[in-house]
Structure 1
């Protein structure tokens, strides 16, 4: 059932006239009547108003309840994958779409999807601190001084410390979940990306931001253009630990062979 027929059926079920529904939606009867003749969806704003009138969910109105839940589950699972697994899943999805487009049946032939593996001796080790650097609005320091080892296929230059990034405000240059290495040299070059500690002992907050010196203050800038990530100035208790040297992705441990 297309959206127009669905709207008409709901209206008649509630014994409402087009004029009554149109008034609740803040439009003329003629405009609403057009919606009952359409096969495509109205704007999201109108759809939300309609769900309130008929006391139905948006998914039910669009007839996509089961499919929508499947999509939600798929996205949630995707977010929990390693970057390597995400890339493999993406490649697999492209192949399956191409096969559907060319109208090939899955059982026509056996397809083997090769998953790349790595030899540990060919990878680079990075010792990562057991606390995350916020690329968003800050995250507290655990202060336990523990580290763990990750492996990457990207060459790593000399560094003093390394930490995993949490948040999307430094994307696309520094993706959420990636690992950055940095040197403990304080502030040096205006506009470089730095690791910053702010707050008193035991209450510190760590950041990874692009930093600019403006007179006697430091302005922190996010690379992500989303307006929610606004520039901010460091407080007096903030310390710029050092510049970021490299940003690397972790290889899924399950893909590493000794």
Structure 2
């Protein structure tokens, strides 16, 4: 949102009348007045001219301007820390006030219906879900109905799956071995896959390629559903 009062303050501090500023910018006095009172906002070209006259960044005239100016002066490492801190503050705010959290629609499957869909459909759609401050491309959302991913992903959360042709060592995948679907960290060796559980109550499995283990999809995200 353009903050006209910031333009007015700069103009007064520089001892410019609305007429004089209008002349410098090649616009009318009325246009200057409308910008300062919020009746209208300057075009992008005019905003750049204003910033040049007052030797400020164009972001100065917006409510986020001060924060962005500080952010741009930080080195990349400190920028990353600031983003992490802001994300933590936002998450805490949402925990304190769940009603303010944005809700996004999604369709979930349990394991049985998911496997049925895979068997019956040759085309699987892709979706984009906004969650946890990012956009995540996924193809299926599954309810976690067991504790195999605890404590990393608790039972009752939703995991987002995306089909992958290549295995990335150490990432979490839904796999099927000997007819049994399971979530595991996958490591590919020359003649077999190593399926490593998150929850240590489950066993590590060595799956030789000749026994045709299936890598169904990689977990690309997870979240706790918000009750309506």
TM bucket (normalised to shorter chain) is 0.3 to 0.5
Query: Normalised by the size of structure 1, how large is the TM-score?
Result: 0.40
Higher helix fraction (1 or 2):
2
Query: Normalised by the size of structure 2, how large is the TM-score?
Result: 0.45
**Structure with more relative contact order (C-alpha pairs < 8 Å, separation 6 or more):** 1
